[in-house]
Amino acid sequence: MKAKDLAIGSRALAPAKDPSGKEVGVLLFRKDEKTVLAYSNVCTHQGCAVSPKSSKEDFYCACHGSRFAPADGTVDEGPAIAALPRYAAAIEGDDIVAYITAAE
């Protein structure tokens, strides 16, 4: 994804591949001009897909209603009790790069 396509304060879902080549989704949050945060889009409650599309400013799991804070991946509203796994990410030139092998 291009950095210019993710405005400061906005969220997105980007396609990626894990080390085995499997397609996965990565949730992105543009914190500021130089910082982007990346998280797994797999809900920590029961493994459903988490989306950046929400009426609130959070990441949302439509299966059971869990909400996660984009600034740190923590649970804003359950039933999930664990934060989303975070990946190392950076803005490199014009691109946003998420390193999905390095969960923090």
Average pLDDT, the chain: 91
Homologous superfamily, domain 3-103: Rieske [2Fe-2S] iron-sulphur domain (2.102.10.10)
Contact 91, 104 (CB under 8 A): no
pLDDT > 70: percent of the chain: 95
Pair 12, 39: CB distance under 8 Å: no
Q: What is the pLDDT of residues 9-19, one digit of tens each?
A: 999 999 988 88
- CB burial readout 67-81, b (16+ within 10 A) else e: bbbbeebebeeeebe
Domain boundaries, the chain: 3-103
**pLDDT bracket for residue 104 (50, 70, 90):** very low
